Structure 1
């Protein structure tokens, strides 16, 4: 790690990368618990892969914006440390696969040279802030949401309140009422609004997908733009303290809202307001970098296939509010593209557009600020790269997660079936290439990374067992999801489970029925009119598993017989003293609190002190085999088991001690006294643990 220490100008980033290197070493030496190491590396974009011994690296790209320079840097890193393949996710990130764990710190250091981070791309953190890919150019937008999305990203990056939550936290920004940022399925969703000339947002809270999708509640019909960051600061604090931590299946924000209700959440939110460091956080949108479009002469080109050119223009151009410009959509099959083409694309947009691309929620690429007169030239250049397939954001454009290709949690192939379904549409239903009324999405498991349960037609990877106890790959068919705009959406119904190899047949039946009976209705409205059982009746014959052929036991894109398996994660290979590890982490948090205090970051110091206290309490409760499901529960249980019983004397209750956090404003004086409280509490806990071990 010494070789790049001096190459990173930002000391905070340098420290972060060196810390990752140190923790990798400690983990491999058996000195850090596997679960704790997993939490640390995930918060730094390093994700265990289905294939043993290699990692997936997720590169965090706020609202999908990538400059030409950044794209070239990502290409260099992918070629050096990975395989040259770039995978666009449904959260506007880029993933690269098959990376050696030991090389991840230097990989990260290379990315940071062009202000690209891995920090909090995975893990129980505030994930990538997503937004409409048309932000800044949308003909219907009241204003550009990009500066607001960027400010929120910066505020929560490395923010101690969101580093070790019970589960991930997802945020989106929508440019207009079309809600292309999908606010209704996010933990927090913001839809741009103007009210009496004031910029603000409609705010949606507590949405989510997964096995139990939940429609977000309206938290505010209109919230001024300077209030969105203080609001989220409070929301994250509540989620961190009261959110479930032990059962991952119930640890998302949507379950907390379900348990305590929207009014209950608002009450907890009100209790946190004194601790929130800003009551107003103005965002200077005018300071956001201005677009600079390349000034070039229009190259003269001759289009050989004018029909193909016109078809491409009819499906792949997005109008811009800026006169004389359009955006070009590039359909990227399954979100996978390669560094050789990515470099050429980076040069193209740098020399002839605005030097940036936007990655979309549908795993595609949008090139903004293309002069209308340059369209023939761009078409020719993109054709040379294989980037002119018609059907951008149309029915042919199927979204799919990596599934069993690389993901630990994948149950059945999503990429293989996606390719086959696109082939079916292209060859048998060519008119759907230009149809934007039918959206098809596929996930390899219930976690919905492919967003299958908000699609018009969705497929979820599963398995099915025959009477002879043979296991075959299967698909859950879901129908009727839709984005209805302005924070309203419908989740798809589970209709029937079928063997995977019958997926194309199911799609044919669904499309044939719609064409015969839809009568001009949108697919979403047609489904609502007919209802779930109508579709179940004509699809259910496909669910019969009594007559499976040998081919049915081989998943799409595979040649070997299907075997349901969860990928293998890392294993430390040694026994760890978890209690000692927790107390060691408490000491680290004390040090973080001290450094934040010295840097004048009172709120950050206070939160580090708070997490140290809770972590120390968790250590003793873990030794007692007590539940440690939530921060709030840890605080109450520590009082009951140790303070009230007289086993530990704090001079007051632990709840009173710890929750000074939300009873005081984040001043320097309080940060200092609270840090001393945290130090004293850790010393008390360590002394108790030492005596306990001596008497054992």
Structure 2
């Protein structure tokens, strides 16, 4: 096995990277099965690509904050290990494509030198914590949500309760009632609120639970109108523990939190959470906001002289791309990043600008753009000139002409038809035929290459979903057209209605028909959504249905956007959720690892973590025996009940009491050192008993 040096000072991070390197070698030697290895690499941000033999690396950037040093580092890594292209996602991450699996540990080690992680960027874990990109500068915000998003990210990174859940878990923090972080589509969404009691203003959050997109979108439920800031972290931990214990694990399509909440009801779910919070080590967690309240400083105080060549273009850009901050005399500049893709030479030059003339920080946005913060008013012309040199001064930031699209068939295994290809064409239609939409923020257009909605198409005003349709014996790339979704504010939103499937090459005509109709028939000051509701779904279906006719196809209809040959539908194995079917031997091996992790946490006086590692060892061990008997293991709670019924009650396995009482000690005991030691010993003895039983009855395959 090759040796590998990380040169990382943080021992926890170094161990994580070395473990990935070791598991890659074991996988190549055939000592770890493919499914288990997939789960492990996904939890470390390494995602299989549509192209054979290369990986997509997802870099986890909480609430989209990036310093110039971090941007330099990401650019260097992309040049060294990939092709110099950076892709901004709708979760404020950056993705790097076409990376060799062997080199992923080295890549990760390089990123960590500037405090950048891959950990839990993919897989069944807490994904990147998103937030309003204007958090901290928004004139309407009650307070800056950035430190709360930051604290949530740090508290749950590598936290044992959310390492191997049934599915991914997404959270967002919105700074104002405009809800720009889209709380209603998240597993947990938070909107900043101030509540005044007896003349004292308190910070807190409106909390939404159980939202999601995908093939079955669900609007999140409001569970608290006001949750005080110091119980934010315990509430999240309680929700995660209940999801981990009761969430579906066998049926991928039903494994998200939204299905659990729907099945048992919000009230019953919150009762479980309330009981769980009582068992936590910390009932309250104070969040330190001091680091986000420091004075804004600038490296360069001079004002470089510039000449504006086209004053009209400059003024149009200012109208659409420049935002006044709550800090007196400071502004933010939005950069419209075409499809979220930009390249390392531009990234470095942008980092130079931000470091010297702003406050050394950008925020990546949920619409795949970049927001530069803290720019003095007198520097706005200079930034325009410099950004124009980089191709970053296109007007229309966050406008209708600023289309959101996932990578689709470019790199994703699940892509059905090209999302980036049609996005390019639609943006061109808007630019050339409807230029006034550069200043329109009322209509958002979003595109996904499949039903999983990474491009958030099914909550857009106008959405397109990649599909295929049959024409004789041939497949035609197609788009499902959706209309009527959007953010309503303060936690309210709506999902789009599916209207009609059209060949992809007719996508531009679909957009033209919709925009022309709106211009002709929309009443003065009537919003797009109000107009859609007034006319109704059938009206818009009738407008578009002629485009769905497949009896008059021409040869070009069989070729997808951005391609030169006839379309072939090719869908691989999706890894968005990282769901795996565990083998018995792998489960028992995992139990050993959990027990080791519990021992290490105990040595570090992390008693709550140790207890949870021991708990998962109990569950994994019991699950191994249940799988051997072909007994359902859909949820952790079900595993515990089924093991008692099938093995303990039948005396196949002899315990001093019931298995439920043995495992659920963690719910009744405080997370003290004494209990952590006892619980770990119980888990260890149980594992040894089950391992011995298994070896005496069945041979491993």
Distance across 2 between alignment mates of 1:288 and 1:588? 38
For the 8 Å contact 1:166–1:245, the answer to whether it is kept is yes
For the 8 Å contact 1:52–1:569, the answer to whether it is kept is no
In the TM superposition, residue 469 of structure 1 has moved relative to its aligned partner by: 3.2
Task: Tell me the equivalent position of 2:290.
Answer: 286
Distance across 2 between alignment mates of 1:275 and 1:86? 43
Structure 1 residue runs of 4 or more that deviate by more than 6 Å after TM superposition: none
Matched, 1:363 2:368: yes
Distance across 2 between alignment mates of 1:473 and 1:203? 40
In the TM superposition, residue 623 of structure 1 has moved relative to its aligned partner by: 1.2
Deviations 1:641-679 (A, max 9, x none): 111111111122211111112122211111111101100
Distance across 2 between alignment mates of 1:554 and 1:694? 53
Task: Tell me the equivalent position of 2:182.
Answer: 182
For the 8 Å contact 2:414–2:574, the answer to whether it is kept is no
The equivalences for 1:37-436 within 5 A come to: 37-196=37-196, 197-288=201-292, 290=294, 291-436=296-441
Out of 561-570 and 261-270, give the one that drifted further.
561-570
In the TM superposition, residue 437 of structure 1 has moved relative to its aligned partner by: 0.7
Distance across 2 between alignment mates of 1:249 and 1:577? 17
For the 8 Å contact 1:208–1:214, the answer to whether it is kept is yes
Distance across 2 between alignment mates of 1:577 and 1:340? 44
Distance across 2 between alignment mates of 1:241 and 1:187? 16
From 475, 478, 494, give the equivalent of 2:498.
Answer: 494
SS at match of 1:437: coil
SS at match of 2:277: coil
Out of 580-589 and 151-160, give the one that drifted further.
580-589
For the 8 Å contact 1:49–1:567, the answer to whether it is kept is no
Task: Tell me the equivalent position of 2:604.
Answer: 599
From 534, 538, 547, give the equivalent of 2:539.
Answer: 534
Deviations 1:576-596 (A, max 9, x none): 992222111110110000000
From 511, 526, 530, give the equivalent of 1:507.
Answer: 511
Task: Tell me the equivalent position of 1:669.
Answer: 674
Distance across 1 between alignment mates of 2:320 and 2:558? 37
Distance across 2 between alignment mates of 1:392 and 1:694? 62
Deviations 1:215-238 (A, max 9, x none): 110010001111110000000000
SS at match of 1:214: coil
Distance across 1 between alignment mates of 2:544 and 2:699? 67
Out of 417-426 and 640-649, give the one that drifted further.
640-649
Out of 576-585 and 394-403, give the one that drifted further.
576-585
Matched, 1:548 2:553: yes
In the TM superposition, residue 695 of structure 1 has moved relative to its aligned partner by: 12
In the TM superposition, residue 611 of structure 1 has moved relative to its aligned partner by: 0.5
Task: Tell me the equivalent position of 1:573.
Answer: none
Distance across 1 between alignment mates of 2:60 and 2:582? 33
How many residue pairs were aligned? 689
For the 8 Å contact 1:52–1:568, the answer to whether it is kept is no
For the 8 Å contact 1:293–1:369, the answer to whether it is kept is no
For the 8 Å contact 2:35–2:582, the answer to whether it is kept is no
Matched, 1:4 2:5: yes
Distance across 1 between alignment mates of 2:700 and 2:19? 36
Matched, 1:469 2:443: no
Deviations 1:519-552 (A, max 9, x none): 1311111112211111011111111112211111
Distance across 2 between alignment mates of 1:277 and 1:444? 43
SS at match of 1:651: coil
Distance across 1 between alignment mates of 2:299 and 2:291? 21
For the 8 Å contact 1:621–1:638, the answer to whether it is kept is yes
Matched, 1:478 2:479: no
Deviations 1:97-133 (A, max 9, x none): 0000010001000000000000000000000000000
In the TM superposition, residue 398 of structure 1 has moved relative to its aligned partner by: 0.1
Give unmatched runs, 5+ long, in structure 2: 576-580
SS at match of 1:393: coil
For the 8 Å contact 2:401–2:427, the answer to whether it is kept is yes
Q: CA RMSD in A?
A: 1.4
Task: Tell me the equivalent position of 1:613.
Answer: 618
Deviations 1:226-266 (A, max 9, x none): 11100000000000011111111111111111101101101
For the 8 Å contact 1:357–1:368, the answer to whether it is kept is yes
Task: Tell me the equivalent position of 1:443.
Answer: 448
In the TM superposition, residue 295 of structure 1 has moved relative to its aligned partner by: 4.2
Out of 330-339 and 469-478, give the one that drifted further.
469-478
SS at match of 2:267: helix
Deviations 1:55-98 (A, max 9, x none): 00000000000000000000000000011000000000000000
SS at match of 1:218: strand
In the TM superposition, residue 287 of structure 1 has moved relative to its aligned partner by: 3.5
In the TM superposition, residue 485 of structure 1 has moved relative to its aligned partner by: 0.5
In the TM superposition, residue 504 of structure 1 has moved relative to its aligned partner by: 0.4
In the TM superposition, residue 4 of structure 1 has moved relative to its aligned partner by: 2.8
Task: Tell me the equivalent position of 1:456.
Answer: 461
For the 8 Å contact 1:192–1:202, the answer to whether it is kept is yes
Out of 659-668 and 147-156, give the one that drifted further.
659-668
Aligned CA distance change for structure 1 residues 643 and 493 (closer, same or farther; 3 Å)? same
For the 8 Å contact 2:334–2:372, the answer to whether it is kept is yes
Aligned CA distance change for structure 1 residues 288 and 311 (closer, same or farther; 3 Å)? closer
Q: TM-score by structure 2 length?
A: 0.97
Distance across 2 between alignment mates of 1:382 and 1:142? 32
Q: TM-score by structure 1 length?
A: 0.97
SS at match of 1:272: helix
For the 8 Å contact 2:413–2:574, the answer to whether it is kept is yes
Distance across 1 between alignment mates of 2:686 and 2:234? 30
Deviations 1:266-314 (A, max 9, x none): 1211221232221110111124362323341111111111111111111
In the TM superposition, residue 461 of structure 1 has moved relative to its aligned partner by: 0.5
